[in-house]
Structure 1
Amino acid sequence: MTQHETHLRGLYAAIESGVTGDGLRAFWHPDAEQIEFPSIMRPKGHRRSLEEMIAGSAVGLEIIRDQHYDVGTVIVQGEEVAVQLTWTAIVARDLGAITSGTKLVAHVAAFYVFRDGLILRQSSYDCYEPIEP
Structure 2
Amino acid sequence: MLALIDTVKSIDNQLSRRHIDLDPAGYWLVMVEREAGVLKVEHYSNDINDQGLAVDPETGEVIACQGGRKRLPSLTLTGRTAKELCVKIFEELESCPVTMLNHAAYLGRELMRAELALTGGGEYIQD
- Give the TM interval when normalised to the shorter protein: under 0.3
TM-score, structure 1 length as denominator? 0.25
More strand by proportion, 1 or 2?
1
